Amino acid sequence: MKNITNTMTFCGLLAFCGSALAEPAPSHLDQVLQRGELKVCTTGDYKPYTYKAETGEYEGIDIDMARSLAASLGVKVQWVQTSWKTLMPDMVAGKCDIGMGGISVTLERQKKANFSTTLDVDGKIPLVRCEDQARYQTIEQLNQPSVRLVEPAGGTNEAFVRAFLPKGQLKFHDNVTIFQELLDKRADVMITDASEALYQQKLKPGLCAVNPSRYLQYGEKAYLLPRDDITWKMYVDQWLHLSKANGSYQKVIGQWLAVPQQQ
């Protein structure tokens, strides 16, 4: 009788495990299609990728791409306002299906989430007043107690400064008006991605990107995705591949980089 009971218990456990394995959590692809909305986490503070205007409307390269992704699915976009500090917690908490807006690929982020295929190569460089370009060419010149660094909190810019420029004076500022800090001489250097530095160089006369093709640190940009959802990643990757193959991705980039919009 004891053996029969043990056998029945074992079989029950197998059935329970089999049932659990047979019903995995639905992919974000299915969730998006079912709810009719694509939840996009974006910071809204990083031109030319994502910017939240005074009207409350979002604009930028990745904003246009988010709308393209939603259109491919036949759904609407639901914008989820986030920050560089809260981007990863929001993704882990399931507040968004995708993170978009000039997001850099890092191993720390990879531990908790996934990435789409690479969008572009982009690296860290200094953005400074044009008159000071010669003073800030190297890590050695930048990593000095007299150098006043300004960064948005919580992103890869801050991480770079803490890792490579620990001797500098670091202060934090929002990523929309941060460039005026340089122009008004309240800070000397902003370490940022070459793409942002070149864009702001066009927007803000007096600011110059230092050696934009010679990165202080190599980087890549991609879209942030939930971890362990291969079905959703495969869809996003295929959509992105076709967007590049048919030229629509390049068209969006060209529209935004050709004539920067004044804020």
Residue 50 has pLDDT above 80, yes or no: yes
Residue 3 has pLDDT above 90, yes or no: no
- Angle subtended at Cα 41 by Cα 37 and Cα 42, rounded to the nearest 5 degrees: 125
User: Which helix (H) or strand (E) is 225 found in, with range?
Assistant: strand 224-225
Residue 48 has pLDDT above 90, yes or no: yes
Residue 55 has pLDDT above 80, yes or no: yes
Q: Environment class of residue 24 by beta-carbon count within 10 Å: exposed (0-12), middle (13-18) or buried (19+)? A: exposed
Nearest of 100, 46, 95 to residue 69 by alpha carbon: 100
Q: What is the phi/psi pair of residue 218, to 5°?
A: -70, 145
Confidence bin at 60 (pLDDT 50/70/90): very high
Tens of pLDDT, residues 100-134: 999 999 999 999 999 999 999 999 999 999 999 99
Question: What is the pLDDT, as a whole number, of residue 23?
Answer: 63
Question: What is the pLDDT, as a whole number, of residue 263?
Answer: 43
Virtual torsion, Cα 92, 93, 96, 99, nearest 10 deg: -30
Q: How far is CA 213 from the centre of its chain?
A: 21
Confidence bin at 202 (pLDDT 50/70/90): very high
Distance separating alpha carbons of residues 109 and 115, to the nearest angstrom: 9
* 5-19, 29-43, 125-139: the lowest-pLDDT one: 5-19
Distance separating alpha carbons of residues 232 and 223, to the nearest angstrom: 12
- Segment 29-48 mean pLDDT: 97
Confidence bin at 8 (pLDDT 50/70/90): very low
C-alpha torsion sign, points 105, 171, 189, 83: positive
This prediction's pTM: 0.82
- 2 C-beta neighbours (distance < 10 Å), count: 6
Question: What is the pLDDT, as a whole number, of residue 174?
Answer: 92
Tens of pLDDT, residues 218-261: 999 999 999 999 999 999 999 999 999 999 999 999 988 864 44
Question: What is the pLDDT, as a whole number, of residue 25?
Answer: 83
Residue 92 has pLDDT above 90, yes or no: yes
Residue 5 has pLDDT above 50, yes or no: no
Amino acid in the structure at residue 166 = P
Distance separating alpha carbons of residues 120 and 240, to the nearest angstrom: 12
- Segment 192-216 mean pLDDT: 94
Tens of pLDDT, residues 133-192: 999 999 999 999 999 999 999 899 999 999 999 999 999 999 889 999 999 999 999 999
